[in-house]
Structure 1
Amino acid sequence: MSTALAAGSGFDFTLAQQLTVIALCALTAFIAHLALAVFNDGVRPFLLDFIQGRTTRSATTAVSFGLSAGFIFGLGAPMALSTGVLNPWLLFLPTDVLGMLAPKKWLAPLLGGVWGAVVVFGLNGANDIAHDLPVDFLTAMQQMSTPILFLFTLFPVLAITKQFGRGWGAAAGAIEVALVVLTMKLWPNMFAGALAMAVGVLMLIGLAVSQDLRQRRADRSAGKVDEVAADDPMASLFSASAARLRRYLPLFMVLGGGVCVLAQMHVFGGGEATSFLIAKGQYAEAAQVDFYRVFGFVPLIATTALASGAYGIAGFTLVYPIGYLLPNPVLAAVVGALVFAVEVLALSWIGRALGKLPSVRDSSEHLRSAIGDTLQLAILFGSLMAANAMGGGLGILVVGGLYLFNDVAGRPVVRMAAAPAAVIVGGILLNLLYWLDLFTPVKG
């Protein structure tokens, strides 16, 4: 399968795309201001104290910025610049912060809209400047696509191994590798990991459901029954949070429609691997990848939403793959709104169902962990490939050194974002060395 990105990887947005990004950033900032939803899963649990008045807006903003800054500048911006495709870390993490920062309701959408304008009007200029440099680190960063796409394929294997042991993991790994080889041989224009990931995720779900069913049969045989305490404080909290979110159902429907429209326009990718697939024009494969990610995040998003009273900006992220596949923005707006309505109305039921399926719930944890592990290795390896492309051994020394320094310095930039950030900083340093006549670029 070719891993070359579309020529230029530029940001030639149409007027409709520009207005959609600006309006969606304004809306997400407003929703974050109301503490109804944020994109950062790590911030959501802190919102309950803010909603109930036990902490201040400024303190919550500081938490949001601290947990988001590394992803914005270390992952969101580099991924967008290297692929020519927008991503949620670049759009929605800043609007989380800006929405919480705004002291007034009217100011939140204004700040969000300004950020959207900065993105759609500023990225192309930054992209052009970077490509005109003697050391073109953005083109070099396209080297990241191959390791990200192929190593990401293995996340179901890691999840199966963690939950069900080495035997099942080895079997899943052998099956996935065989399917990748088969796909490359028979369907060379198809993303080679698509079929392998599908089988891997289905194996994981099948093993988890089978384990839960066996456990329930064993419990019934032993005379055990499901018991829920009538005065369970968590049940009461979950009920109040679900009711709070349902009160704002029309606003969530507008949000769902907006995110789905953005995905339908094919200028946005919901994940690292997805961004590269969208850039290649492989929308069906991108939809497949983001659909599998849903299984890893539904339990997390549902439980944190029910515990905190704040939902996810992208919901369960189902609107991403749906949007990629829909034929026009009008249909995407309608379908996205309906998907969000179903998600919000079903939250309480999903919470109860997850309580009865502990192995499935555990699978979600293992999937998220496996996705992080595979992407962390892929992004690091891809960043070193980019470093080699732009500076050879010196590039690897600079980029690898920055990554290691960040690690031993207490990780001021989160590990997953540290490597792409190091490529950009390393690229700037190599350009400085070139202008000092101390370095000759590998290419150009």
Structure 2
Amino acid sequence: MDFAQLLDYIIIACVGGLGSILANRGIAVFNDGLRPIMPEYLEGKITRRELAATSFALSFGLVIGFGIPISIGTTIIVAHSILLAADIIGTWTPNNKWGTVLAGGIGALYSIGVMIGLQFVVDLFAMLPVDFLGSLGSIAGPVFVAFAVFPAIAVAYQHGFLKGIIAFIITFVAYLLVAKFGTFNVAGSKLSLSPEGMSLMVAMLVMIGFAMTKKGDGSGANTSLLSIFAERVARIRKNWIWLALMGGFIACASSLLIVAVDVLPHQLMNKGEYNEAAIATIARAIGFIPLVFSTAIVTGVYGMAGTTMVFGIGLLLREHPVLAFFAGALCMYLEVILLATITKGLDKFPGIRDMGEHIRSSMTKVIEIALLIGSAIACNMIAPSIGYFWLIGFYLLNRTAKKPIVDLAVGPIATILLGVLVNILHVLGMI
């Protein structure tokens, strides 16, 4: 094992270990759906067992059905594989000193295990009589192209169908223009802009532009929230050192090209388009500021990766992990310290303040549909005669289950199960 590989293992262990500690202590979680539940536990309204069960229900399907399947076959891990698991590990370990130590240890070992295990899975698939690993890469294909449409959908949710159509057309035209004219010669070198990354940036600007057209009415909603939940805001600021360390480790991991915040940056990084991946990551983070800040104020629990800006900082400082660590720590520190100031400022632009939930809803819907389409393509590649039959049946039957798999995870799980089934049928001589 060389030094570079050892450093990768150390950094990913720090990310997973510290993330689990933050969840264990109720300082921060990654799953936006879990954050509103945390105050219920912290105030004694639900038990630790109920919190753990909720965390597992919200995150496990996304870990095994989204994060890990998308990460398989690459050297870059989708952050959900580590940080959502940290939510589970942190909430399932006891709420005491030894539980915190246990959470850190399990989180670190799990994260290293993911890095090692992904390669093991790749090697295992290669030994199967029907190698379907290559087909799994098709699952994220539609996400890579379609991700840039989510701001237009968010605009439609927030401002109506007509403005959503306008945002969609602008995004579409931006994609076509960059695809056609986005290659330049700079100092004798060819520079190519990513149509996906640049159209996403344009779409985010359009979304923010529409949101800014709604002027404040003087109600001061966020200022009122800060007054009501001042104690919870103070709790977040009190834990700034832990959050800054987490921001530093995540930025460091991003600079080493170990983790990606989401599917689009993940795919861009796999293609070596790191600047475009950074642009897409930062654009995504800007859109998430209202959601992260508003839920942080109300719950007193911060996002494990903050606004996720630290991932973009890491990409901009790739191959400089030490500098990325300090820049990421500073970024997270500023997010925490300026939480109240920025939130008050959003009162002047209530449209921006309110767009957070629309961003989350639209992004989830786009990824759900894109993963389902990608899974259908992958299933048909694995078994041309039964692939579509298998996926559609699996998807619709899942909806009738008493405890259905979350929609994001249905397609990837169905595809992997089909790959295993095809190998069993091959051994039995049925195909």
Q: For 1:269-308, what aligned pairs fall within 5 Å after superposition?
A: 269-308=260-299
What TM-score does the superposition give when structure 2 sets the normalisation length? 0.91
Which of 182, 187, 199 matches 2:202?
199
- Check whether the contact 1:13–1:120 (CA below 8 A) recurs between aligned residues: no
The corresponding residue for 2:144 is 149
Which shows bigger deviation, 235-244 or 164-173?
164-173
The farther-off stretch of 285-294 and 337-346 is 285-294
- The within-5 A match list for 1:147-296 is 147-187=142-182, 189-212=192-215, 216=216, 225-226=218-219, 234-296=225-287
Q: What amino acid does structure 1 have at the position aligned with 2:121?
A: A
What amino acid maps onto 2:381 in structure 1? A
Deviations 1:226-285 (A, max 9, x none): 46799x6x5444211121122121121111100100111112111012211111111111
1:295-444 matches, within 5 Å, as 295-327=286-318, 328-410=320-402, 412-439=404-431
Distance in 2 between the 1:158 and 1:178 partners?
A: 16
Deviation at 1:411, TM superposition (A): 5.7
Deviation at 1:323, TM superposition (A): 0.7
Q: Distance in 2 between the 1:294 and 1:410 partners?
A: 35
Deviation at 1:194, TM superposition (A): 2.5
Q: Secondary structure at the match of 1:144?
A: coil
Report the AA paired with residue 413 of structure 1. Answer: I
Structure 2 gaps, min length 5: 184-191
Other structure's SS at 1:105 match? helix
CA distance, structure 2, for counterparts of residue 227 and residue 260 of structure 1: 34
My pick for the range that moved more, 414-423 or 300-309, is 300-309
| Matched residue type, 2:327 | V
- Return 173-182 or 101-110, whichever deviates more: 173-182
User: Is residue 31 of structure 1 aligned with residue 22 of structure 2?
Assistant: yes
Q: Give the alignment's TM-score, normalised by structure 1.
A: 0.88
The answer to whether the 8 A contact 1:131-1:139 is kept is no
184-193 or 417-426, larger mean C-alpha shift: 184-193
What is the one-letter code of the residue matched to 2:394?
Answer: L
Matched residue SS, 1:314 = coil
> Any gaps of 5 or more consecutive residues in structure 1?
1-11, 220-224, 440-444
Provide the rounded CA distance (Å) in 2 between the counterparts of 1:329 and 1:94.
24
1:106-139 per-residue CA deviation (whole Å, 9 max, x = no partner) reads: 2111111221222122221112101332332321
Deviation of 1:299 after TM superposition, in Å, equals 1.8
**Deviation per residue, 1:70-93 (Å, 9 max, x gap):** 101111110111444212221011
- Range with greater deviation from structure 2 (412-421 or 397-406): 397-406
Which of the residues 86, 111, 114 maps onto 1:116?
111
**Would the aligned equivalents of 1:74 and 1:420 in 2 still touch at CA under 8 Å?**
yes
1:398/1:54 Cα in 2 relative to 1: closer, same or farther (>3 Å)?
A: same
Identity between Structure 1 and Structure 2 (%): 32
User: What is the identity, as a one-letter code, of the residue corresponding to 1:245?
Assistant: I
2:125 equivalent to 1:130: yes
Work out the number of aligned pairs and report it.
Answer: 416
